[in-house]
Structure 1
Amino acid sequence: MNHIATTLDVNRIRKQFPVLNQEVNGKPLIYFDNAASSQTAKVVVDALIKFYERDHANIHRGIHTLAERSTKAFEETRERAQQFINAGEADEIIFTKGTTESINLVAQSWATKFLKEGDEILISQLEHHSNIVPWQLAAEKTGAVIKVIPINAAGEILQDEYLKLLNAKTKLVAVNYVSNSLGTINPVKEMITAAHDVGATVLIDAAQAAPHVKIDVQDLDCDFLALSSHKMYGPTGVGILYGKRDLLEAMPPYQGGGEMIKDVSFSGTTYNDIPYKFEAGTPNIGEVIAFKFAMDFIDEIGHEAIQEYEHKLLLYANDKLKKIPGFNPVGTAKNKASVISFLIDNVHPYDLGQLLDARGIAVRTGHHCTQPLMDFLGIDGTVRASFAVYNTEKEIDVFCEALDNIVKKFS
């Protein structure tokens, strides 16, 4: 196998992540759990510390200097997020706790208002629980019906079957851009176009896509899109919901409280304009401010360079892993992000996870919050190794050698 040729200075990138420079169980840490949460870049941590040490104040309503500084930095992140996904305007960016809350916001607000009995919601077999359960709750409230878009054994959506499911009753299509379990990159632009042809609204779960794929919501023409900071080298507890202005303006508030109002009296309340209509209460101010620096970090490297490098890591790892006895990949889509799910004959995934952790290697085991997908595949779960821009082929070598040694002990 040829070594990875890249223009990226990975050593310089790794220096942005001091957490990687430690030992776990007496071994150098190898962090391959990036699909769950990537590590946080130092520039992000520094921004968070700066906020709490210098600028900590509530936003929007204060007129003192700290409040004005905090408000300015908070809104700069909104503008940065608009640029990052190429939204038409900053007001189409709603801050949430993450992808899960973003999807729930749409399911509780848009769906409750616009869905009725007999309407159909399409979700795929690949979805994370966070893009299943909110729609089940919405269906219970409205009488809508959920239809599941099938996939093949490789973990790819069956496009012909998807097109057959679309009809005049289809009011919402909610699918992920990239599968968290299998790494499948879905053809969401084509799916959005087909959904719009029957008058359906489309929500894209972009949690896994955001750190790997350049997102352009205007080019995609999606109606809603959700993502999370903690998948993008940023802090936890922060995400965004993008929505087209006309949809957001037509939706009722998701929660009541401060910031989402213009005027309150006991006889009634006038709601604020978007985006503030959906941002009740004091937000995660410091983390939102720091999130801007995570987006800057990604754009400084460039999505194209990141995707190329991570794809080479994926190919390198696949080539090494297939030589390990009993290795069975789970999810072999032609178009994949840097995620490898797999099983080893006669070794339980949890045992593999624990034995790898004993060697300082962090992977994820289990159903990855995709139990319906695992049921379809006829398995309880997998081992998942997911790579980020700071990972290296040397780490993959150590991982594969450790895995090979573990397998030999079980044989």
Structure 2
Amino acid sequence: LDDLLTDKTKLVCVNQVSNALGVVNPIKTIIEKAHAKGAWVLIDAAQSAPHTVIDVQAMDCDFLVFSGHKMYGPTGIGILYGKEDILNELPPFHGGGEMIKDVTMEVSTYACLPFKFEAGTPDIAGIIGLGAAVGFINSIGMQTIHDYEKELVDYTIQRLSEFDEVEIYAKDAEHSGAVSFNLKFDGVHSSDVGMILDKKGIAVRTGHHCAQPIMHHFNIPGTVRASFAVYNTKEEIDTFIEGLKTAIRMLG
């Protein structure tokens, strides 16, 4: 990061938690280093918002975004947080109803926040659904969810570590919500493992997870990602491990 940041850097975009590996990034340090160069910071919290407590003021990020579909909400809806002074400085990117203050044939002036960024009829059903999802999370408590899911992730890494045939990526790093791995057999693709687990009724994500550069770094086409939510159990993880044993026997 120190090599990439220069006085020309205007915006640093980074995920708080990697959706590909489940690794928690040192966000506060990244923000401090970027701010020292005069750059704004946008945090992609899609993979962290459902799993951990977020405090944008303590974080001191300039923008933070996340989607609804990873936090029990509908698809196509999400949140953009931005510091008020920066949002006031930025022009709207889209035109439509509700986002104007005054329009003449010569000039337009825009409404105040947040309306100038919310042109046209909003996604009313999506907003209601996202609100219900946030209510569900708050009814349990984000810290409770975080602590419970951490138990699941730690237990999964512990169980996966039992197998010499399994490569766990970033094994010793802090994880949140997901663990990424592969079998060490030559010619075995992550999708092969995923298909066998699917036949056992176990849902995992396989492939490059929309993060091909990190896969190129590891010189692999993709990984198997086991991800967790508050409704998962250790018994389900044991079932997943039994399915993985079958995959090891079949593919080894």
TM range (shorter): over 0.9
Match of 2:170 among 331, 343, 349: 331
Cα deviation for residue 186 of structure 1 reads 1.0
- What does residue 363 of structure 1 align with? 204
- Do the aligned partners of 1:184 and 1:333 also contact (CA within 8 Å) in 2? no
Match of 2:215 among 357, 364, 374: 374
Alpha-carbon distance in structure 1 between the residues aligned to 2:90 and 2:247: 54
Q: RCO greater where, 1 or 2, for CA within 8 Å and sep 6 or more?
A: 1
Name whichever of 284-293 and 387-396 sits farther off: 284-293
1:189 has 2:28 as partner: yes
- What does residue 342 of structure 1 align with? 181
- What does residue 293 of structure 1 align with? 132
Q: SS in structure 1 opposite 2:101?
A: strand
Indicate the structure with greater helix content. 1
1:221 has 2:60 as partner: yes
Cα deviation for residue 325 of structure 1 reads 4.7
Alpha-carbon distance in structure 2 between the residues aligned to 1:333 and 1:253: 43
* Amino acid in the other structure paired with 2:230: V
Q: SS in structure 2 opposite 1:331?
A: coil
Alpha-carbon distance in structure 2 between the residues aligned to 1:186 and 1:319: 21
Q: Percent identity?
A: 53
Q: SS in structure 2 opposite 1:241?
A: strand
Cα deviation for residue 335 of structure 1 reads 1.4
- Do the aligned partners of 2:189 and 2:222 also contact (CA within 8 Å) in 1? no
Alpha-carbon distance in structure 2 between the residues aligned to 1:321 and 1:184: 16
- What does residue 168 of structure 1 align with? 7
1:249 has 2:85 as partner: no
Q: SS in structure 1 opposite 2:10?
A: strand
- What does residue 276 of structure 1 align with? 115
1:318 has 2:154 as partner: no
Q: SS in structure 2 opposite 1:317?
A: helix
* Amino acid in the other structure paired with 1:271: Y
- Do the aligned partners of 2:189 and 2:221 also contact (CA within 8 Å) in 1? no
Name whichever of 261-270 and 169-178 sits farther off: 261-270
Alpha-carbon distance in structure 1 between the residues aligned to 2:163 and 2:29: 37
The count of residues paired between Structure 1 and Structure 2 equals 250
Alpha-carbon distance in structure 1 between the residues aligned to 2:83 and 2:172: 31
Q: Cα RMSD (Å) of the superposition?
A: 1.4
- What per-residue deviation string (whole Å, max 9, x for no partner) do you get for residues 97-138 of structure 1? xxxxxxxxxxxxxxxxxxxxxxxxxxxxxxxxxxxxxxxxxx
Alpha-carbon distance in structure 2 between the residues aligned to 1:215 and 1:333: 23
Match of 2:226 among 377, 381, 385: 385
Alpha-carbon distance in structure 2 between the residues aligned to 1:342 and 1:305: 26
1:352 has 2:180 as partner: no
* Amino acid in the other structure paired with 1:382: T
- Do the aligned partners of 1:208 and 1:231 also contact (CA within 8 Å) in 2? yes
* Consecutive unaligned residues in structure 2, runs of 5 or more: none
Match of 2:75 among 218, 232, 236: 236
How has the CA–CA distance of structure 1 residues 171 and 399 changed in structure 2, closer, same or farther, with 3 Å as cutoff? same
Cα deviation for residue 322 of structure 1 reads 2.1
- What does residue 238 of structure 2 align with? 397
- Do the aligned partners of 1:212 and 1:303 also contact (CA within 8 Å) in 2? yes
* Amino acid in the other structure paired with 2:242: E
Alpha-carbon distance in structure 2 between the residues aligned to 1:195 and 1:409: 48
Cα deviation for residue 327 of structure 1 reads 0.8
TM-score if structure 2 supplies the norm length?
0.94
Q: SS in structure 2 opposite 1:362?
A: coil
Cα deviation for residue 233 of structure 1 reads 1.1
- What does residue 103 of structure 2 align with? 264
Cα deviation for residue 333 of structure 1 reads 4.4
* Amino acid in the other structure paired with 1:311: K
